[in-house]
Structure 1
Amino acid sequence: MTEVTLRVAMSCGGCSGAVERIIKKMEGVEDYSVSLETQKVVVKGNVDPQKVLEAIAKSGKKTELWQ
């Protein structure tokens, strides 16, 4: 199982909801968490970190791997 942790610029509940909808549509995702307060998104499952990053970035939110 792969765990991908991202920093995503989310400013409201609508932003975090959009990110959640993208994650739910992805294949291989077993679990995820989206924190508006910390701007942190964690996706767990049989996923490619680069594909998770690209899919969430398509929402228009500034997205980067959590350092």
Structure 2
Amino acid sequence: MPSRQLLPATLCALGLLVAAGCTPTVQVAAPSEPITINLNVKIKHEILVKVDKEIDSMLDENSELF
């Protein structure tokens, strides 16, 4: 009979060992390539704003075109 009482305790201990072995591991490593930031979007936006302002001023000067 003592072996029947040991079975739940043994299973519980085994379950804890298995759960401890499944803990996630986080590794932090530096990238192999340098980080590059592409700023083409901002430059394009500035160009579009400048052209938009020029078009507005042209239409104000030549309002009879339309």
TM-score calculated relative to the size of structure 2 = 0.26
Structure number with higher strand proportion:
1
Bigger relative contact order, structure 1 or 2, given CA contacts below 8 A and separation 6+? 1
The structure whose Rg is larger is 2
